[in-house]
Amino acid sequence: MTINDGLAYLLELPAIYLWPVFLLENILITLMVLWSGKIIRQYFSPAAMPAYHYTSRDWLICGITNVLNTVITYLGYWLWKQGFIIIGTEFSLFILSDLLILFLAMDLLMYLFHYVIHKTWLYQAIHGLHHEAVNPKPIDLFVLHPLETLGFGSLWLLLLLASSFNIYAIMIYLMVNILFGMIGHLGIEPLSAQLRSKPLLKYLGSSSFHHDHHQDITRNFGFYTSIWDRLFGTYKS
């Protein structure tokens, strides 16, 4: 089955089937993040580091986030089906250029959104929930206020509405997004300081980079990179 066959099949599926499929997709992503995060923490954690546990409240909010992410997924599908979102399927160099655009544009949009909710009443009303985790653990990636979840999802849909993007670039970006989200909430740093100081790598958002943001909420608002923090004076090494 080609990518075009897969997309054509999606177009034919009734909504009654799409909703559970999209929900299952989001649940599997969540479970993958939690399992991978647990394995990485077990392998790289200092021996004296206490084990973490997830509360029933964590699971409840995580579940709500999954439902809302399913809504965003379906809305993206509907916008594509109606022709508002244009997706290319050619296998070409546009995959790389589109991936770079998605990566940097979303990093900038999320930086700006993140900065605004920290500097306004939105922090107490919405974002403070996420920052209850001073030392984040993998599930905290999904412990978000519902409005914040919808806000980040809306940024993604707005970017897709702004221009056409290659389907392969979109899929790779989504995997990269999940990877960085998990890394940022490991609660430990699996990479050595020497490796993180290498050219290019030093500009990527490491686990320490986002962990420091949970420790000092006035710095490090970026997600995938530290580029925007460095440009706008909010970077903390």
- From first to last of its 237 residues, the chain has per-residue pLDDT tens of 788 888 888 889 999 999 999 999 999 999 999 999 999 888 877 665 667 889 999 999 999 999 999 999 999 999 999 999 999 999 899 999 999 999 999 999 999 999 999 999 999 999 999 999 988 999 999 999 999 999 999 999 999 999 999 999 999 999 999 999 999 999 888 877 777 778 878 899 889 999 999 999 999 999 999 999 999 999 988
Residue 41 has what pLDDT?
Answer: 86
**For the chain, what is the HEC assignment?**
CCHHHHHHHHHHCCHHHHHHHHHHHHHHHHHHHHHHHHHHHHHHCCCCCCCCCCCHHHHHHHHHHHHHHHHHHHHHHHHHHCCCCCEECCCCCHHHHHHHHHHHHHHHHHHHHHHHHHHCCHHHHCHHHHHHCCCCCHHHHCCCCHHHHHHHHHHHHHHHHHCCEEHHHHHHHHHHHHHHHHHHCCCCCCCCHHHHCCCCHHHECCHHHHHHHHHCCCCCCCCCECHHHHHHCCCCC
CA 176 to CA 237: how far, in whole Å? Answer: 23
pLDDT at 46: 67
Question: What was the pLDDT predicted at 44?
Answer: 79
How confident is the model at residue 48, as a pLDDT?
58
Name residue 206's amino acid.
Answer: S
In this structure, the chain runs to a length of: 237
Can you read off the two tokens belonging to residue 151?
A: 């806000």
Vertex 170: Cα angle to 164 and 173 (nearest 5)? 135
Place of tokens 């499929």: 21
Give pLDDT, residue 5.
87
> What is the per-residue pLDDT for 49?
66
